[in-house]
Structure 1
Amino acid sequence: ELDMLTLTATPIPRTLNMAMAGLRDISIIASPPPNRHAIKTFISEWVDAQVQEACLREIKRGGQVFFLHNDVKSMEKMTLELAALVPEARIEMAHGQMPERELERIMLDFYHQRFNILVCSTIIESGIDIPSANTIIINRADKLGLAQLHQLRGRVGRSHHRAYAYFMVPPKALISKDAVKRLEALEASGDLGAGFMLSSHDMEIRGAGELLGDEQSGQIQEIGFTLYTELLERAVSALKSGKQPELDAPMDKGPEVDLQASALIPEDYLPDIHARLVLYKRISSAESSLELRDLQVEMIDRFGLLPEPVKTLFSVAELKQQAEILGVKKIEANAAGGRIIFTATPNINADQLILLIQTQAAIYKFDGADKLRFVKAFETIDQKLEFIADLIRKLTPVVQ
């Protein structure tokens, strides 16, 4: 048998996807070394004064600067421009096309602080540990990948000093949409140990790749990342249990509840659409009434008392949890009554169901082989919820 351990700060989309789908185990090391500070990240268009200020600030505190210009043909021209902009600096350049001995000499001189600014290509991306270099300026950062930019940013901040990363880009109108997403993700994740979060963003931008093919990234926009992950998780679970995955079967999202009432988070209660979507996901993913109650307490604490539509949303979510245990497919209710539709193999107290139909024939009756219809007038949504919750309790099997 072969055991394999992969260590990476920023896993490629395919590797991360395999870990999240359960095909690989994953452990996250989120604790940084002691006395490290988060790297302050700035994204802006090229401004001479800003570049000059960034270089001089680092030089005056006794530090050094990486200036990344990933175009060997124009690197010498860029070095001359930088020398004119910061005449106080001692500047050298390094790239992969230089003779090995000369490249080694330059890197050793930089390590021993014999000059201040190293104009370089992405050759510094890995294997470089220079604690005295705590500012990096990356020219045309829009041309580099998300994981690559994160790795390059990690060349600074390797001591107790505050480090700075400057990503120089053209005007936003000239940058591709994916490049804008990459840069926004980088700017938002300046905290230590952000590599895993950035890899998740990278997977969403580039796609998750092929599990059996050789593509490391790929497009999954056709169905969306969340649905793709759920489909993959279902297939992996089936294979692990020795079953054949039913790829054509519909996604099981629990019972459907239609009470003809507003069950939502109003915009005037929570204006931020992203926060609303996150809360919808958390409510639908809750697995117990205790989780729902904790979530209600959190929302009251963060946003204030719950309006009626939100209270209804939580009541419906709790009703779904109870109904799912019984094998209920759908619950419908209107002002005059409603019906419960069961799955092919419901888990209910059959004796209690027959008793209800026999003793309360005016209210309950069968409507086909898998439907229970009830006739009752409801004036409020609370009456509907109370009646259906009581009916579900009655139909719940007695645990021996």
Structure 2
Amino acid sequence: MPIKIAQASRLVAAKELAQVKEDLKSGAIDIVIGTHALLAKTVNFGRLGLLVIDEEQHFGVTHKERIKRMREDVHVLTLSATPIPRTLQLALSGVRELSLITTPPLDRLAVRTYISPFDPVIVRDALRRERYRGGQSFYVAPRISDLDEVAEFLREAVPELTFARATGQMPPGELEDVMSAFYDGRYDILLSTAIVESGLDLPNANTLIVHRADVFGLAQLYQLRGRVGRSKTRAYAYFTIPV
């Protein structure tokens, strides 16, 4: 079918993004995939009929108001594994229609989750075990300021493993290069902030270490755990807390 698909996000060049906005206004684009940028006042849709919102919990009040104005003549489908209380209340009270996906994919194994005080031996063995079975690991810290401390630990505990950093403060091009390299298997560990909590599908990464899990919210931890166990391989999640 002759369907024109476009993308709108901070990773798209300014000139290309301007063209996307023009095509949306004229109705030349059939499907556009993007971030919060699509809800900006400068974006106008010529023939919008369906709005699909993934990871709804990440959208703030301003974005919700924009969506509310669009709802008047547009079908809206929202998706979330951790819905915010207001959305959950509207669904359970019958104001919104609700559908649940309760069946996991075929052969999918549950993620084994451990919560314990930080133990360098357990963390080291978990990272090595994942590497020796041919997989990769996520190591997530709550703050950018924590990354240097964790990086030093990795150099001392698992010097044979390679790792790369990823944070939201990195230039878009550099961040994309790091994520692509990790996806291609050039690094054993991705050391990052909570930027990885959604939008990633890396079947080969099946061990997750969360540094200072007590700093994260319950919904964040649930989302982070969802980064592993996306294949037929048994996945492990370690939520560490201060000793």
Question: Same fold, TM exceeding 0.5?
Answer: yes
Question: Bigger relative contact order, structure 1 or 2, given CA contacts below 8 A and separation 6+?
Answer: 2
| Structure 2: distance between partners of 1:71 and 1:41 | 22
Secondary structure at the aligned position of 2:76 is classed as coil
* Structure 1 partner of 2:155: 83
CA shift for structure 1 position 63: 0.4
For 2:125, the equivalent position in structure 1 comes to 53
Establish whether residue 66 from structure 1 lines up as the match of residue 131 from structure 2.
Answer: no
Q: Aligned AA for 1:20? A: L
- Cα contact 1:83–1:91 (8 A) shared by 2: no
Q: Which has the larger radius of gyration?
A: 1
| Counterpart for residue 170 of structure 1 | 242
- Structure 1 counterpart of 2:7: none
The residue aligned with 1:44 is: 116
Distance in 1, Cα, partners of 2:75 & 2:134:
46
CA distance in 1, matches of 2:151, 2:74: 49
2:144 partner amino acid: V
Match of 1:122 among 187, 194, 202: 194
* Residue 19 (1) aligns with residue 76 (2): no
What TM-score, normalized by structure 2, do the two folds share? 0.68
1:28: which partner in 2?
100
Q: Do the aligned residues in 1 keep the contact of 2:141 with 2:193 (CA within 8 Å)? A: yes
Q: What is the CA distance between 1:147 and its match in structure 2?
A: 1.5
Give the superposition deviation at 1:2. Answer: 4.6
Q: Tell me which residue corresponds to 1:108.
A: 180
Cα distance in 2 between the residues matched to 1:155 and 1:125: 7
SS at match of 1:14: helix
Q: 1-side partners of 2:209 and 2:181: how far apart?
A: 20
Verify: 1:146 aligned to 2:224, yes or no. Answer: no
Q: 1:74–1:145: structure 2 CA closer, same or farther, 3 Å change rule?
A: closer
**Contact 2:142–2:215 (CA<8 Å) still a contact in 1?**
no
TM-score, L = length of structure 1: 0.42
Q: Which has the higher strand share?
A: 2
Distance 1:169 1:73 in 2: 17
User: How do 1:1-400 residues align onto structure 2 when only pairs under 5 Å count?
Assistant: 2-171=74-243
Q: Distance in 2 between matches of 1:82 and 1:43?
A: 20
Q: CA deviation at 1:142?
A: 1.2
CA distance in 2, matches of 1:48, 1:124: 23
Structure 1 unaligned segments of length 5 or more: list them.
Answer: 172-400
Quote the Cα distance in structure 2 between the aligned partners of 1:76 and 1:170: 17
Q: Distance in 1 between matches of 2:78 and 2:189?
A: 34
Tell me the distance in 2 between the aligned counterparts of 1:47 and 1:82.
13
Q: Quick one: distance in 1 between partners of 2:195 and 2:171?
A: 13
- Alpha carbons of structure 1 residues 71 and 167: separation in structure 2 relative to 1, 3 Å: same
Kindly indicate which of the two structures has a greater share of residues assigned to helix: 1
Question: Which amino acid letter does the alignment assign opposite residue 170 of structure 2?
Answer: M
- Structure 2 gaps, min length 5: 1-72
Distance, in Å, in 1 between the alignment partners of 2:156 and 2:82 is 37
Deviation digits for residues 108-149 of structure 1 (CA, Å, limit 9, x no counterpart):
110010110111011111111111000000011111111111
Shift in CA distance, 23/138, structure 1 to aligned 2, threshold 3 Å: same
Q: Distance in 2 between matches of 1:4 and 1:99?
A: 32
2:47 aligned partner: none
* Superposition deviation, residue 3 in structure 1: 3.5
Q: Distance in 1 between matches of 2:79 and 2:140?
A: 26
Is the Cα contact below 8 Å between 1:54 and 1:135 reproduced in 2?
A: yes
Deviation for aligned residue 1:70: 2.0
1:20 to partner: Cα distance = 1.3
Contact 2:141 2:192 in 1 (8 A): yes
What SS does the corresponding residue of 2:209 show, helix, strand or coil? strand
Aligned-residue identity in percent: 49
AA in 1 matched with 2:225: R
Superposed CA RMSD: 1.3
